Amino acid sequence: MNLLRATATIGGLTLISRILGFVRDMLQARFVGAGMAADAFLIAFRLPNLFRALFAEGAFSAAFVPMFNRQVGEDKGALDNAKRFAEDVLAVLMPVLVIFTIIMIIGAAPIVWALTGGFPDADPEKFGLTVDFTRLTFPYLALISLVSLMGGILNSLGRFSVNAAAPILLNVALIVGLLAFNGPDAVTTARVQAVCVTMGGILQFLWLLWSCHQSGVSLRLRRPRMGDRVRTLLRLILPAALGAGAVQFNLLISTALAARFLPEGAVSFLYYADRLNQLPLGLIGIGVGTAMLPALSRQLGAGNTVAAVHTQNRAIELVLLLTLPAAAALTVSATPIIRALLEHGRFLADDTVATANALAAFSLGLPAYVLIKVLTPGFHARQDTSTPVRIAVASMLVNLVGNLLLIWPLGHIGIALSTAIAAWVNAIALFVVLRRRGHFAIDARLQRSTLRLLVAAVVMVGVLLVLNPLVTPFTGGSWLARIAALAVLLGSGGIVYLVAARLLGIFTVAELRAQFSRKAAP
């Protein structure tokens, strides 16, 4: 497998999705703002987003892909038995999803109350709106789970692009809703957005269904049968979900605390900040992690542990190269970035300051968020999903304690900061356990590159601090002026970082290409 090419494919399509996602956020900030309607919709959308992160980007792939790949390998490339395994999984999954979705729709009110405390200090209408919006978005849970099953099959067959393109359809549905059906007030527009979430799920499901058919995999719905392989998969999914979704669970906890204890708008500030922070995570961490898992599974299955360790070292090197400048920019230049992208319409100057403060705090943990995505496949490829979940639970406890300690003196900034701290605890623990087990060791090249990358990032920070006050006045003008200001700010910082990295001799483009074009061990 060509890791760089697969990462580029996934990352490129994810880039399109994330750009469209942020276009959606810009439109939402303009038409909905950061008040009651925005908070209600964002809380209703948090649970579908959680399931998307757990299944589409985490648990299902982590458990299903190695098992599907192993079956294909045992059958020397034949798909018949692997397809039967997928059909058995679908037969068990479908009725569970239907029943679960019905229960969640009926029980939306107590679920929202548990998440928000009923918004004790807010307008009573806010709770009712959140319940209504939640019922409109819940069907997305079943749809995205089916999408994840089909996406796991296509990833196993090396068709990474199909699954990576699916989120684009969700963003398109939401953007169309905002542009074509924005109402006379924020509440009406938010309600349309809730409907569009489920419409986007339907589009994703149809896209994956057609793609599987085109790949020669047409799944039949059989009578549910709990075979040995299905039992094994179910045993692996729960811990994998908790392990892969630690960051999302932390955000869910943070949303609940913000809704319960902080003033109106805090949920929106955290959401917009997290969306920007998630952009490099989606492009880099998810892309590299998804591309790594099949390669590690094959290398370890062949007993080639040296190749597996090499793959992990190069993956970490790649994500640090790409993540450190992103973290530097989002932390140091948060205010001009938020002002240029979001301050328009119902999104006011005070909202910019509050969101920028949250973004700076979130971004301190950005390298950790990405490292979690790269280190976790080291466990999943060995069919160990229990260790990451224990580490994830510990990090969630750290996050909860941090939230409770920091929310009172720092407000929503304390919530973002504790999330970053918890991510570092998670990433460091994953690394320490892999090293102690002899499953991973930092090679000399990674040690050398990491130190030099940190120096290059520090140089970039210095340049951004100089440019921030010069560029900020232009970030509130026309869209052309905003784009030009961001291009100057981020472009200058990025060029300085790359030049510094090159002068420090970290690696050349030719070396990168050579390292990642090597075929995975059989």
What six digits make up the tokens of 394? 């510990």
Amino acid making up residue 520: A
Q: Nearest-CA neighbor of 422 among 392, 449, 399, 394? A: 399
Half-sphere exposure of 254 (CA within 13 A, CB side): 35
- For residues 298-314, one letter each, b for 16 or more C-beta atoms within 10 angstroms of the residue's C-beta and e for the rest, the string is bbbbeebeebbbbbbbb
pLDDT band at 464 (very low <50, low <70, confident <90, very high): very high
What six digits make up the tokens of 148? 């994840």
Identify the residue with better confidence: 65 or 223. Answer: 223
* Contact assessment for residue 1 and residue 295, using Cβ atoms and an 8 Å cutoff: yes
Any idea which residue has 């102690």 for tokens?
Answer: 436
What six digits make up the tokens of 90? 């679908």
Q: Round to whole Å and give the CA distance between 20 and 172.
A: 7
Q: Round to whole Å and give the CA distance between 193 and 42.
A: 10
Identify the residue with better confidence: 334 or 295. Answer: 334
Beta strands in 224-310 (DSSP E): none
Q: Round to whole Å and give the CA distance between 80 and 96.
A: 25
* Rounded average pLDDT over 411-416: 93
User: Angle, to 10 degrees, between the axis of helix 108-116 and the axis of helix 246-261?
Assistant: 80
What six digits make up the tokens of 44? 């209703």
Percent of the chain surpassing pLDDT 90: 30
Q: What is the reported pLDDT for 521?
A: 38
| pTM (whole model) above 0.75 | no
Q: What is the pLDDT of residues 118-172, one digit of tens each?
A: 776 667 788 889 999 999 998 998 888 888 888 878 877 777 788 788 889 999 9
How high does pLDDT run on average in the chain? 82
pLDDT band at 67 (very low <50, low <70, confident <90, very high): confident
Segments in 364-443 forming alpha helices (H):
366-375, 377-380, 386-410, 412-436
Q: Round to whole Å and give the CA distance between 35 and 129.
A: 13
* Angle at 494 (CA atoms; ends 493, 500), nearest 5 degrees: 90
Q: What is the pLDDT of residues 75-90, one digit of tens each?
A: 777 777 888 888 888 8
User: Angle, to 10 degrees, between the axis of helix 3-31 and the axis of helix 305-332?
Assistant: 30
DSSP character string of 291-304: HHHHHHHHHHHTT-
Q: What is the pLDDT of residues 310-355, one digit of tens each?
A: 777 877 888 888 889 999 999 999 999 999 988 887 888 899 999 9
- Other residues' Cβ atoms within 10 Å of the Cβ of residue 388: 28
Q: Round to whole Å and give the CA distance between 286 and 312.
A: 14
* Contact assessment for residue 152 and residue 219, using Cβ atoms and an 8 Å cutoff: no
Helices vs. strands in the chain: H and E counts, helices first: 23, 0
Q: What is the reported pLDDT for 322?
A: 83
Domain range summary for the chain, segments of one domain joined by +? 3-516
* Contact assessment for residue 49 and residue 218, using Cβ atoms and an 8 Å cutoff: no
Q: Round to whole Å and give the CA distance between 425 and 429.
A: 6
Q: Positive or negative, the Cα torsion across 60, 61, 64, 67? A: negative
Q: What is the reported pLDDT for 225?
A: 80
Q: What is the reported pLDDT for 358?
A: 95
* Rounded average pLDDT over 422-451: 89
Beta strands in 407-511 (DSSP E): none
Identify the residue with better confidence: 311 or 51. Answer: 311
pLDDT band at 210 (very low <50, low <70, confident <90, very high): very high
